[in-house]
Amino acid sequence: MTVTRASVNEMMRAYKRTSLLRTAVELGVFDAVHEGAGTAAAVAERAGADPRGMRILLDALAAVGLLTADGERYALAEGAADVLVSSAPGYLGDMTRVVVSRFEWDSLGRLADAVRNGGTVEEQNAETPGFAYWETFAEFASAVTLPTAAVMGDLLEPWAAGHDPLSILDVACGHGLYGFTLARRFQQARVTGLDWDNVLPITEKHAVELGVHDRTGFIAGDMFEVDYQGPHDLVLVTNVLHHFDEQRCTELLTRAAQALRPGGRLGVVSFVRDGSPAEDPEPYLFSILMLSWTAAGEVHSQQAHHDMITAAGFTNIVQRQVPGLPFHVLVAERA
């Protein structure tokens, strides 16, 4: 990429587009337009907003290509109904509540302080027990979870299908969708979700919605301290390893190994650094959030993942990247 005045200017202003998208989702603009509100006054009425404010917002949304404008009438731009209308199966709007949440936005506004410090400067951060952001994450992060959970299920077949009983511990389960998706696929499975106690009511709600509540249990507390109540057949550690340095990750994975029956499986989901920043930018961009929010976390390399998993007592690592998403699924066997 050649750096030009235009490219730097675009980067400087990119946050305005982010803000527009978040605001439109928050005010229900795309749903309103989809359901026939075609003028600023009509959308404003539905959103409980000011008509002038709404006109300026809608024009800006048309300027960035999310709406079309024809005089005073607005419509969804091509493709918008598939990803920005809340009833669409491919709805992505909820993810703005996570990745453009106040938590992330405000913290990245102080990125320079985190760089100076070499780690978080936030009083409330990803390692704070009961961090409120994790409730938001558990509530709204399902859009990227379900395709990844499907890859996990594929990698665990046929081992899991032939394993009865199948006791699954989902460490730092958040929404719980990894364990619950597996429980729907493998009817003999029982899932225990472990997380902070402020998150678990949301986890439990998802267990009810997915119809697996009668095969679900919970452990509230610190994953580095609480009893894992094993032995289990499968331990999941998903989207957690980037919160810690390699030593702390190995400690966590060792706890997972100790909670497994011999021959049991570990299922990991992770961002994995596996190329230069230019070739594979996503993991490097994600690491800035971990710099802002953790003492020593960042996205680990492919080699580091394999080293940590092996050092914790696992073997036969199988790895797949999730199509279209920057996540890798790794399955390993307790040695």
Amino acid at 22: R
Q: Which of 270, 269, 266 is nearest to 253 (CA)?
A: 266
Q: Which of 103, 137, 180, 218 binds ligand SAM (CB under 6 A)?
A: 137
Interface segment toward ligand SAM; rule CB under 6 A; list 20-28, 102-110, 192-200, 287-295: 192-200
Q: Which of 145, 167, 270, 294 binds ligand SAM (CB under 6 A)?
A: 145
* CA pair distance 225, 263, nearest whole angstrom: 24
Interface segment toward ligand SAM; rule CB under 6 A; list 10-18, 87-95, 221-229, 297-305: 221-229
> Is residue 269 part of the contact set for ligand SAM (CB under 6 A)?
yes
* CA pair distance 264, 231, nearest whole angstrom: 9
Binding-site size for ligand SAM (CB under 6 A) equals: 19
Q: How far is the CB of 84 from ligand SAM (least distance, A)?
A: 22
Nearer to ligand SAM, 84 or 171 (CB): 171
Q: Which of 152, 88, 170 is nearest to 325 (CA)?
A: 152
The answer to whether 153 and 178 are in contact (CB under 8 A) is no
Q: How far is the CB of 290 from ligand SAM (least distance, A)?
A: 10
**Residue 57: what are its φ and ψ, rounded to 5°?**
-65, -45
Interface segment toward ligand SAM; rule CB under 6 A; list 17-25, 83-91, 222-230, 305-313: 222-230
> Is residue 224 part of the contact set for ligand SAM (CB under 6 A)?
yes
Tokens encoding 174: 């958040």
Q: How many CB atoms lie within 10 A of CB 122?
A: 19
Q: 229's torsion region: left (phi>0), alpha (psi -120 to 50) or beta? A: left
Q: Which of 279, 282, 284, 263 is nearest to 322 (CA)?
A: 282
> Is residue 134 part of the contact set for ligand SAM (CB under 6 A)?
yes
Q: How many CB atoms lie within 10 A of CB 148?
A: 22
Q: Which of 58, 76, 84, 172 binds ligand SAM (CB under 6 A)?
A: 172
Give the residue at shortest CB distance from ligand SAM. 174
Nearer to ligand SAM, 91 or 196 (CB): 196
Q: Which of residues 225-254 bind ligand SAM (CB under 6 A)?
A: 238-240
Tokens encoding 289: 């959030």
Nearer to ligand SAM, 45 or 104 (CB): 104
In the complex, which residues of this chain contact ligand SAM (CB under 6 A)?
A: 134, 137-138, 141, 145, 172-174, 178, 195-196, 199, 222-224, 238-240, 269
